[in-house]
Chain A
Amino acid sequence: MSSLIKSSIARKVVMALSGLFLVLFLVLHVTINLTSVISPDTFNEWSHFMGYNGLVQYIMQPILIIGVIVHFVMGIVLELQNMQARTIKYTRYKGAANSPWVSRNMIITGLVVLAFLGLHFYDFWIHEMTYKYIEVHPEDPARYYTETVEKFAPIWRTVLYIISFGLLSLHLWHGFASSFQSMGLNNKYTPYIKSFTKAYALVVPLVFVFIAIYHHLNPITH
């Protein structure tokens, strides 16, 4: 077991598992967000549940935060190790001839997504924490929809949002399928898994983007 923690394969599996966990979380996230377009009441209801349910707040939220941290810390550790594995670089290196751009630049797409996450945390999580625990406002089950839609009012934020999800899509395009390979799954079902993961990598970010544009174009009129 101890060898497992130190080995390169184990580190890859950690990346794969944390990545898959985040992929699952995205499904939940996109589903809740989608309700904001369909039914603001449902959105408020679900958001309130997520914000005040003890299980969600004290168990799932920390796990999610740990998942995000593990994924990006490990990603950076791996990248640093990989850079050290070739100290003298090639004068000419034709990576494009043998591998897709996304697979070679997970660190770029990953860091952009991470930067976006910073903004996202600032916008929502910090806001929530302040609202609930610092300023100690009373519960207001109807505030979420308005707060969310208002965030998309400025064009810069919407554009940033779209770019980030574009890069998330690229990140998922390689990462989701790759996680199966890392965990040792490569067999006759692999082509189907690949199709599914690629569809996911396109559809989920697209839905997020759609929601962002929708709210940007349909601001709440006071």
Chain B
Amino acid sequence: MKIYLKIWRQKDASTKGKIVDYTLDGIEGDMSFLEMLDILNEDLISKGEVPVEFDHDCREGICGTCSLQINGRPHGPDRLITACQLHMRSFNDGDTIVIEPFRAKAFPVIKDLIVDRNAFERIQQAGGFISVNTSGNTIDANTIPIRKENADKAFNAAACIGCGACVAACKNASAMLFTSAKVSQFALLPQGRIEAMERVQNMVRQMDLEGFGNCTNTGACEVECPKGISLENIARMNREYLSASLKG
């Protein structure tokens, strides 16, 4: 099939970018979306042009590297997948596809479709851990039983891949779903309760410092999250935050 592409090109962080049009022929439905971009790049290289740079790595939906806004939605039209899992069979012959980087003030563009997500790193560094040293003498793993329901919920929150689709989808570019996933994972486990108050306050403070927007509960993040992280986590973080602030 024939595909018309409109791709954001930007040389580097300080240069102004723009949308550039490309046309590709001979695209097959079995190709993944990123393989379609590979073909475009091979084409550009053969013409002596600079290929389109985009972030990608595992190409199986788990590393969270790919970060494309495809036709106005993070990771494209299909639900519960990342851009690398999207296949061209989700498009039709003659379609125009607009590809942009994830947009947020806290995610500045590095080049073309690549953004800098270090804001997420700093949020995690502010408190996304349990303070336990490696010793080999920590208590036996089965000393503290954990209710299966809580363990499962903690897992579901921990499944976040840190791709930033929540921020990209949110009309306010809010990072609440991302931050709350980590807060929730630890808040639900006895190991994480010890530092729960400091954790939630530190992570939220960092999140605010990074310049993400405020949550207005539109729910877009939950819909676009490739791992289906639930809004319940945001409520839990709000709860944890309030109780920590009132107590602390």
CB contacts (< 8 Å) of B207 on chain A: these are: 8
Residues facing B in A1-48 (CB within 8 A) are 1, 3-4, 6-13
**Residue among B171, B212, B220, B239 facing the most chain A CB atoms (10 A cut-off):** B171
Dominant SS among interface residues on chain B: mixed
Q: Is B33 an interface residue (CB 8 A)?
A: no
Q: How far is the CB of A174 from chain B (nearest CB, A)?
A: 7
Q: Is A98's CB under 8 angstroms from B223's CB? A: yes
Q: Is A59 an interface residue (CB 8 A)?
A: no
CB contacts (< 8 Å) of B2 on chain A: these are: none
Q: Is B51 an interface residue (CB 8 A)?
A: no
Q: Is A61 an interface residue (CB 8 A)?
A: no
Interface string of B217-238 (1 = CB under 8 A from A): 1111001100000011011111
Q: Is A4's CB under 8 angstroms from B245's CB? A: yes
Size category of the binding interface on chain B? 35 or more
Residues of chain B having any CB pair with chain A under 8 Å: 6, 8, 19, 69, 71-73, 77, 98, 100, 103-106, 109, 169, 171-174, 201, 204-205, 207-208, 211-220, 223-224, 231-232, 234-242, 245-246, 248
Q: Is B235's CB under 8 angstroms from A185's CB? A: yes
Q: Is A103's CB under 8 angstroms from B242's CB? A: no
Q: Using A99-B223, A184-B242 as known contacts, say yes or no to A85 and B215 having CB atoms under 8 A apart.
A: no
B77: nearest residue on chain A (CB-CB)? A97
CB < 8 Å neighbour of B6 from A4, A91, A174: A91
CB < 8 Å neighbour of A85 from B172, B245, B246, B248: B172
Q: Using A3-B201, A98-B169, A184-B238 as known contacts, say yes or no to A12 and B73 having CB atoms under 8 A apart.
A: no
Residues of chain A having any CB pair with chain B under 8 Å: 1, 3-4, 6-13, 78, 81-82, 84-95, 97-100, 103-104, 106, 174, 178, 181-187
CB contacts (< 8 Å) of B215 on chain A: these are: 8, 12, 182
Q: Is B217's CB under 8 angstroms from A103's CB? A: yes
Q: How far is the CB of B175 from chain A (nearest CB, A)?
A: 9
Can you list 18 A-B contacts with CB-CB less than 8 angstroms, sorted by A residue number? A8-B207, A9-B237, A9-B242, A82-B173, A82-B216, A84-B213, A85-B212, A91-B98, A93-B171, A94-B72, A95-B218, A98-B218, A99-B219, A99-B223, A181-B234, A184-B235, A184-B236, A184-B241
